[in-house]
Amino acid sequence: MDDSAMSIDVPGGLTNLDTPLKAIIVAGSGNQHVSSKLNPIHAAFVGWVNGPTNREPAKRCKELEVQVRESRIPELTIPEEKIEYIKRSTLLFSETQQISDLTIPNISRLSELQRSALKTHILQYKTSEVSQSLLEHNSILQCAEALYLPKKDGMPNGDALMDWVNNLDPKPEQHEGVEIMQTRPPCSHPLFWDYVHRAVLRGLLPQTSLIFSKSGLERSEPAISDILKSLIDVLDTFPLAKAFTTIEEFKRRRDNWLSHLSYKLPSLSNRNPSNNLKIMLDILEGNIDIIKQSSSTWQEYFAASACYCDLSDFQTREERWTDVTEGFAVDITLPFEVICGNLCEGDIPKALTNCKGLDLGLAAILSDLLEKADVLQDPMDLGNSEGPPFGLRDYFCIEYGELLMMNEATWREACIIWQSVPGIGIEYIQNSIIHIPLESKQQIEDLLTISDSLDLFFESAYISTSWARHLERQSKFGSAITYLHRARYFSQIDRLVWKIFENTLLFGPMSIDDELKHMIGNPGNCPVEIANLIAPVATLRGFYEQTGREKRRWLAALFKAPRIPRRCVGMLMCEMLPLLDGSNLWTYRDLFDCLPVIEEFYSGNDFQEGINLVQLAIDEGRGVSWRQNIRMGMIARDIIAVVRMLITKEIGRVFLDGKPSEEE
């Protein structure tokens, strides 16, 4: 039978095995190729790396590995509860980037989702400092949402500002109302009118109506007893912008309501009502001076005037803000209050800059929402050429990503944030991703997913190779080979396979991990390159499992394997010792196929290295069967000489007996 003429069908249409299989090495192997040849014993491939050896890629990886260890990014401590919020908010941020053609109401909804995530963590950690910080973030987001991200295009923002103020500082408090209602009559309570004015200023008209209906005012102010029901109706029917679909519909309803209120006021003035009742009606009518006098904070005045007043006298937000600051002062010791003041003034860049000082993540999220709503004017757009070469939103995202990259728990979020920055964001990922400490398989898969999605081929190969080295140190050879294959680093697979091969010769059949065992047992399920390259190890392990004539056949196949490391030939010669016992196991062809390899070993440069390997096996080898066939005190060079002599003797015996085996 002529082995050289053998061919079989293999995946990819490769049938002629006289032409070795070749696969171009993409990264890390210096234009080397995977070559293969069919093992004549069991129709399995023996594979090796063919072509010039270029050490530069390996050197580059080594230099990068050193760089990782020497320039480790400093660790940033982030509270665990804050990390949970960061992960949730970044997920929402990522989903926002995937939505095209966003409308203002849609962006408002996205802002609400961010605030919903904040509220969840505020309730979960309500006693911690993180919770207080998130409360401030929620207030800033809601303020921006009320001013610039209306739920319905073109609608007034008075209702939304009222909601913002009531969430920020709920007044009047519920227990105050309960206490007043327990007094008989309620209107006699000293804080009754203070409660009513505060409730009206905060837009809590249904609560005011309820208190009025049970207040006993008809007895304390009999002059208005006959129209009290109408006043309650005025409170109940106050139009809220969020209840209407169009601005025209809202304005029409608001005009009707004001007409109804104006109709009641003349009749009241003739009845000499109390001053407290006049104040309430002035607030409802939109008397801006009374509203300012009745308000206790600038936020309360800002929201109430937006809800009740005609603000057409103010041409710009700046003029409106000037009016606010003439009667109130922003507490500059509270950063979140300063930021809300900037937003109300209309100075969005300043608000975002102050946001950065409070929390970079908030600055990134808020700037992203405002940019998508087309209300963010960057300093570059305003003629400031001294700013960064990209927009504020991108600047904050870059900075936020750098911050998150400093904590091992948030590097994924850093990559998500950076991905949203066109052009330069990928460069930041590219420069940082190989510095992330490798800790788990899931982390590696995430890193590779990010690298592959951004076509970062070198970074992907570097991460795979680094993780493969880690697995190799843990003797997880199968997994290491898998990751080296993902890196297309075939020369390293070749190195690892021959390392396993050599250790097996030294110490006998070694235990291997389940993945490598599966590869050896199911080569058809492996990528072709892996199946080819692990064939020497598979053949050697198969050799140890055979007996008699089959054992000789497998050993002969190993001698004939292409480009087997010559330093291993001495070890293979030692494996011949138990088989050269005159039991007629060998054929002419096998013996003469082995002889050229042995002679090349004797005359080659690897002879001394091979002798040293045999001596190491004699001194330290465990479970090596051929050691039982040598006398105490024999050295490696003697054993090799004995094997060579026994081969010559076996050839002579076969010749003299004249009984060639069946294969001859």
426-431 — which CB contacts under 8 Å span 24+ positions? 426/454, 426/456, 428/398, 428/401, 428/402, 429/454, 429/456, 430/454, 430/456, 430/459
Q: What pLDDT does 589 receive?
A: 83
State yes or no: pLDDT of 323 exceeds 60.
yes
- DSSP letters spanning 37-80: EEETTTTEEEEEEES----HHHHHHHHHHHHHHHSPPPP----H
The DSSP secondary structure of 520-544, one letter per residue, reads HH-GGGS-HHHHHHTHHHHHHHHHH
Mean pLDDT of 198-218: 87
Structure tokens at 590: 């096998």
Please provide the size of the chain in residues: 664
∠582-584-585 over CA atoms, to 5°? Answer: 110
pLDDT band at 17 (very low <50, low <70, confident <90, very high): very low
Which range among 43-57, 81-95, 126-140 shows the weakest confidence by mean pLDDT?
43-57
User: In this predicted structure, which of 18-27, 231-240, 547-556 has the lowest mean pLDDT?
Assistant: 18-27
CA dihedral 98, 101, 104, 108 (to 10 degrees): -20
Q: What is the pLDDT of residue 143?
A: 95
pLDDT category, 13, cuts 50, 70, 90?
very low
CB neighbour burial string for 541-561, b if at least 16 within 10 angstroms, e if fewer? bbbeeeeebebbbbbbbbbbb
Is the Cβ–Cβ distance between 367 and 352 less than 8 Å?
Answer: yes
555 has a pLDDT exceeding 50: yes
What's the whole-model pTM score?
A: 0.75
CA–CA gap between residue 107 and residue 369 (Å, rounded): 7
CB 165 within 8 A of CB 303: yes
Name the more confident of 5 and 343: 343
pLDDT confidence bin for 60, thresholds 50/70/90: very low
DSSP 13: G
- What is the Cα 599 distance to its own chain's centre? 57
What integer is the mean pLDDT of 458-467? Answer: 94
pLDDT tens track for 406-458: 988 999 999 999 999 998 999 999 999 998 988 899 999 999 999 999 999 99
Q: What percent of the chain has pLDDT over 90?
A: 36
Mean residue pLDDT across the chain: 81
Written as six digits, the tokens of 563 are 């480009």
